């Protein structure tokens, strides 16, 4: 599928990966919690996906990965950590740092208080209309989506000297669109079908191709991106950069838009 025909949520997080790593030399990349084939549409590098189910190249637990130390140029984990209990998230991040030689990118829904409340409301609505819990929303609520306080705690405990947090998206728009889809699915009639079709189409990335990243948190932020350069990789990367003569720079942002 052409990337712009993905759901915006899927498109955003993978497009941000391609842009953040665009000016960096990446030989291979591990996508922890990813599905085979998606990231390859955005990144020109060797991609290996790891997940607990058959949707990935390798089936394994992200807290105990079957790789030697420093074997990937970069490790990314997109919308995965919020499905992991809080008490093992640091262990999960340490394992990701163990297998990356240079970079780690962690992305997940940003846990502002209003975002958390809206997701609780949506889960109750979904239960009332379908008689069952929504798996992802239920895990968000049980485990807690990461807050600014928790992200700062990770940075302190992992002793990260080179890290940057970005924010993107609009949880209000995302949640309202999800709400429309759930409501119209239960209603009958031609008009309800048209509204459902409109809700699906309006969520396609084709109609929202521009992604804005901000270094400062804003009230409606839907997702955070924690971009980490591994402490012991900085000098090694510079040496490799000189040998390969590959230009390598930090991600560039102009007017809060990735360029």
- The CATH number covering residue 76 comes to 3.40.50.150
* Distance, first Cα to last Cα, the chain: 24
Predicted pLDDT at 161: 78
> Can you give the pLDDT at residue 236?
52
pLDDT at 196: 81
pLDDT, residue 195, reads 81
In our burial notation (b when 16+ CB lie closer than 10 A, e otherwise), range 89-125 reads beebbebbbebbbbbbbbbbbbbbeebbebbeebbeb
Predicted local distance difference test score (pLDDT) of residue 257: 39
Is 176 domain-assigned?
no
HSE of 120, CA atoms in CB hemisphere, 13 A: 12
pLDDT < 70: residue spans in the chain: 232-259
pTM as predicted: 0.87
Domain span holding position 38: 3-111+144-170+208-258
Q: Is 248 part of a structural domain of the chain?
A: yes
As a whole number of angstroms, the distance between CA 40 and CA 52 comes to 19
In a domain? residue 184? no
In a domain, 90, yes or no: yes
- Quick one: pLDDT at residue 176? 95
| 185 domain-assigned | no
By residue count, the chain amounts to: 259
Provide the domain count of the chain.
Answer: 1
Tell me what pLDDT residue 254 has: 39
Domain assignment present for 118: no
Residue 121 lies in a domain: no
Residue 43, domain member (yes or no): yes
């Amino acid at each position: 599928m052409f990337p712009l025909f993905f759901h915006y949520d899927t498109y955003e997080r993978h497009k941000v990966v391609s842009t953040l790593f665009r000016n960096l030399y990446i030989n291979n990349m591990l996508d922890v919690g990813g599905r085979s084939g998606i990231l390859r549409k955005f990144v020109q590098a060797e991609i290996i996906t790891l997940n607990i189910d058959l949707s990935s190249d390798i089936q394994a637990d992200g807290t105990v990965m079957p790789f030697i130390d420093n074997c990937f140029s970069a490790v990314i984990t997109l919308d995965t950590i919020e499905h992991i209990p809080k008490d093992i998230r640091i262990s999960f991040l340490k394992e990701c740092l163990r297998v990356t030689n240079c970079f780690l990118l962690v992305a997940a829904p940003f846990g502002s208080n209003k975002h958390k409340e809206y997701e609780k409301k949506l889960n109750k609505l979904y239960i009332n209309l379908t008689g069952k819990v929504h798996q992802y929303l239920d895990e968000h609520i049980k485990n807690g989506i990461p807050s600014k306080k928790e992200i700062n705690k990770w940075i302190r405990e992992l002793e990260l000297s080179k890290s940057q947090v970005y924010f993107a998206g609009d949880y209000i728009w995302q949640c309202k669109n999800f709400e429309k889809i759930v409501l119209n699915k239960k209603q009958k009639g031609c008009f309800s079908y048209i509204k459902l079709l409109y809700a699906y189409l309006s969520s396609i990335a084709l109609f929202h191709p521009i992604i804005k990243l901000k270094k400062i948190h804003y009230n409606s932020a839907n997702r955070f991106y924690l971009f980490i350069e591994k402490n012991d990789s900085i000098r090694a990367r510079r040496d490799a950069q000189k040998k390969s003569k590959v230009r390598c720079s930090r991600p560039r942002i102009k007017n809060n838009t990735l360029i």
